[in-house]
Amino acid sequence: MTDTASPALTVSGLVYHHGSIPAVQGLDFTVARGEFFGLLGPNGAGKTTTLALLCGLLQPQGGQIRLDGQPATPRTPAQKRKLGLVPQDFAFYPVLSARDNLVFFARLHGLEGRKLRQRIGFALEIAQLGHRASQPAGEFSGGMKRRLNIAIALLHEPELLILDEPTVGVDAQSRHAILQTLTQLNQAGLTLLYSTHHLEEAHRLCHRVAIMDHGRILALDTPHNLVRRYASGLIEIDLAMPPDPTLLEQLSHRFGVVAVEQHPTRLRLETPQPEAVLPELLQALTTPGASLHRLQWQEPSLETVFLKLTGHQTRD
């Protein structure tokens, strides 16, 4: 029985190691019913391992997962039915048509007769694939394949939909269609747990986001609160010659500017108030001999929070 007073998902002290490598190290978070929850992190942060644990594809080596307030280990058939998974890889048969793929997976969930036909119709509509229902899925564009992936996960009417990078590798139009679909599903009451590399997507869609790295959650809050608490504006400058060292010292004392990256003629500055720094910085850099080549600035955002918490270096 569903406990309507409890969160849809509760994770407590979750631990998992790939051999000797710690992938998940004591995760704690909850996802409320009807919430659009984002999970962010660089490559190797432990996001995909976390999702695999939540779906039951891996078994926790420590900690606990609770669905609707009930322990999810061992997982009951009723608990499995509550979850829908949209993996990062395509999870359908490319030689089958979209409709045949949907029928196959619907039957795995025990759907038949009128109910099966209703859910197939809904899935084709939500994926915007009705006009291509008879075409082999392997011939679809990347965006169509992503939409079919989502449609399959919705066939059995899950209460919690877990998505691992559902817009990776798609064009702008398909990405917009996918995000619009997810928003509509959430507004209709579906709970979503969403992993993505696209920070602007998370800022736009998610009620709360958790930023994780090295298997741990570094920060968890609404995007607005995270930006207010952690973010700084970024200013990038290219000069013809190295800047006067006293300039950075002055900016640091007056506005809290920090040089997060400095080369002989390039500066990357971090400041909580870029709009206050810019006039004085421009004045100092337009003096004779300074020769400002380029100046670019960025308001505080979820991206600057992410970079501050996880570092600026690319990780493969």
Task: Note the pLDDT tens digit of each residue in 33-59.
Answer: 999 999 999 988 999 999 999 999 999
Please state the rounded mean pLDDT for residues 76-84.
93
Measured CA to CA, the distance from residue 8 to residue 49 in angstroms comes to 20
The set of residues, in sequence order, having a beta carbon less than 8 Å from that of 88 and lying 6+ positions away, is 48, 164, 165, 166, 168
Half-sphere exposure of 207 (CA within 13 A, CB side): 14
Structure token digits, residue 48: 């995909």
Q: Which pLDDT belongs to residue 287? A: 62
228: confidence class by pLDDT, cuts 50, 70, 90:
confident
Judged against a pLDDT cut of 90, whether residue 125 lies above it is answered with: yes
Q: Which pLDDT belongs to residue 252? A: 73
Q: What pTM did the predictor assign?
A: 0.84
Q: Which pLDDT belongs to residue 226? A: 94
Please state the rounded mean pLDDT for residues 118-135.
96
Domains of the chain, start order: 9-223 (3.40.50.300), 232-299 (3.30.70)
The owner of tokens 């995270």 is 226
Q: How far is CA 110 from CA 117, 118, 143, 161, 284, in A?
A: 12, 14, 28, 19, 71
3-state SS class at 45: coil
Judged against a pLDDT cut of 70, whether residue 92 lies above it is answered with: yes
Backbone conformation region of residue 265, classed left if phi is above 0, alpha if psi is from -120 to 50, else beta? alpha
The owner of tokens 């984002």 is 38
296: confidence class by pLDDT, cuts 50, 70, 90:
confident
Measured CA to CA, the distance from residue 298 to residue 132 in angstroms comes to 42
- Per this entry, what is the length of the chain? 316
Q: Which pLDDT belongs to residue 83? A: 96
Torsion of Cα atoms, 241 then 244 then 245 then 248, to 10°: -100
pLDDT > 90 fraction of the chain, expressed in percent and rounded = 63
163-208 pLDDT per residue, tens: 999 998 888 899 999 999 999 999 999 999 999 888 989 999 999 9
